[in-house]
Amino acid sequence: MGSSRTAKTRIKSENTVLLSPPPAPRRARDRVLYINLIYTFNRFAEKHTILDMKLEIQTILFTEPDGDAIERAGEILRAGGLVVFPTETVYGLGADATDGSAAAKIFAAKGRPADNPLIVHLAEPADAERYAVTTELYFRLAERFMPGPLTVVLPKRETIPATVTAGLDTVAVRVPSHPTAHALIKAAGVPVAAPSANISGRPSPTTARHAIENMYGRADCIIAAGDCDFGVESTVVKLEGEGVVVLRPGAVTPEMLGELCPVRLPDTLYKSASADVVPESPGMKYRHYAPDVPMYILDGSDSSVKNFLRDKTDCAIICFDGDEELLAREYAFSLGDRADSASHAHRLFAVLNDIGGIAHKADGKIKAIYARMTPKEGVGLAVFNRLIKAAGYNVIKLD
Ligand code: TXA
Ligand code: MG
């Protein structure tokens, strides 16, 4: 097949990984995905001339999350392998959470710092009892928000190895609502430790294409199953007295949590933590995603944003529906209606992933990314949090 020849295995230097092209699909209905895959595979191989590890993994790609795929992926997890799977938030990179050496492979595949702990994914809220010390408040939160995009940090039990929790005495547990994720955890018969399925420092994958682009050649198996619903990672909370502290905002909003218990929002959700403060969650100190070019958030009215950008060429723009003049530009992307935070959440990472790819391909044509400020209410807090982290807290006030 012509296109597969262009995706030939390449050896760049002694430090470089050997990547093999994805196998051609037998079924006609998989062809479109395959062509897309060859494209992203080439882009990946070109961009990462020097990869930071020496792995050579044959990845099995399932383009349908059917019973056979789930069974096979469950076996791979039980055998200590890595499986990429969809959840309602973002794609995850899973391993058996009771197997320290399986979990260690996650850190290697992502290039993730060893001091950033993983979330343990369970089939049922009550399963947490085996791996963590649960409380009455945990079950109240579970009753209301699980299965769904809420992660709760609890004191850990010995059943979870230190590799998973990065040596902490707590463990984060979550029960995903995505049917494929649920079926996979059931089929595996083990709890599944899973961070987002991106290479560390890149945006979380929220589409099958971006999951493949990040993890092809790094995981043993990928279950590709369309777009994720929410598009930002789960809300992470830690129990604190009678209430919770939000370590990472997500689709379960502070307002929703507030209906059940007192909620504390640390300053670090809005601004950069100072170097001398120990973060409440290890993930807070990482920038999460750093584009290759400078990124700025523009805080101002429609007209001041338009004026500011008028003479800025060679940049990517993230704006809203209705920003006609901006959207007419070559590298402009809309997050949806300005007031629709759910749409912003759904699109943000896919847009950032696409801009990353284009910035590489367009070779110097994108020298900066300018994103319009998004609303901070409800799930908007999660969007804003990811946006300012991506922009390294660079906000330009225009009015
Ligand atoms: O939606 C999600 O949560 C996705 C999907 C795959 O489930 N997973 C995800 O995982 O976003 P990850 O590893 O990208 O982010 C986990 C976050 C990190 O910020 C980490 O520091 C925090 O949860 N975390 C995990 N265990 C913790 C613990 N014991 N104490 C405090 N924070 C913890
Ligand atoms: Mg992540």
CA distance 280 to 268: 9
Domain ranges of the chain: 57-223, 295-397
Q: Is 177 in the pocket of ligand 1 (CB under 6 A)?
A: no
Q: What is the pTM of this model?
A: 0.86
What local confidence, expressed as pLDDT, does residue 201 receive?
A: 84
Q: Residue of the nearest CA to atom 22 in ligand 1?
A: 283
Per the listing, tokens 């338009």 go with 306
pLDDT digits (tens, 9 = 90+) for 256-289: 999 999 999 998 787 765 555 555 666 666 656 7
In words, the CATH class of domain 295-397 is alpha beta
Query: Which ligand is located closest to the Cα atom of residue 199?
Result: 2
pLDDT digits (tens, 9 = 90+) for 140-176: 999 999 999 999 999 999 999 999 999 999 999 999 9
pLDDT digits (tens, 9 = 90+) for 176-187: 999 999 999 999
More confident of the two residues 26 and 393 = 393
Atom of ligand 1 at shortest distance to CA of 89?
Answer: 1
What local confidence, expressed as pLDDT, does residue 5 receive?
A: 30
Binned at pLDDT 50, 70 and 90, residue 359 comes out as confident
Comparing CA positions, the residue from 297, 346, 338 lying closest to residue 321 is 338
Q: Residue of the nearest CA to atom 10 in ligand 1?
A: 195
Q: Residues 110, 93: contact at Cβ < 8 Å?
A: yes
CA distance 333 to 315: 11
Domain 57-223, CATH: 3.90.870.10
Query: Which ligand is located closest to the Cα atom of residue 90?
Result: 1
Pocket test for ligand 1, best of 91, 93, 151, 178 (most atoms within 8 A of CB): 151
CA of 234 to the centre of ligand 2 (A): 10
**Percent of residues, the chain, with pLDDT higher than 90:** 67
CA of 204 to the centre of ligand 2 (A): 6
Strands 243-248 and 235-240: antiparallel
